Amino acid sequence: MAEEDAEVRRPRGWALSEASREDLELMAVADLEERIETLEAEIARTRAQIDRKRAKRAAADALFGKPS
């Protein structure tokens, strides 16, 4: 029973992969526009994370020197 209650671990990027398989032909224009807004928000969130990671790396390189 405990195994049935355990949350299934999905691989990284699973949700994005599943979303890319959806049949867009079945969606209304309003649904497609909402989907675009959601995807654009996710792109912005991802870019912000990249910027944070690059800034942390630059700070570490400045403090410890760039690795060779």
pTM: 0.74
**How many C-beta atoms surround the C-beta of residue 16 within 10 A?**
10
Amino acid letter for position 62: A
For position 65, what pLDDT does the model report?
85
Domain ranges (residues) in the chain: 25-62
**pLDDT tens-place values along the chain, 68 residues long:** 555 656 789 999 899 899 999 999 999 999 999 999 999 999 999 999 999 999 999 999 999 987 66
Check residue 4 and give its pLDDT. 60
Q: Are 32 and 24 in contact (CB under 8 A)?
A: yes
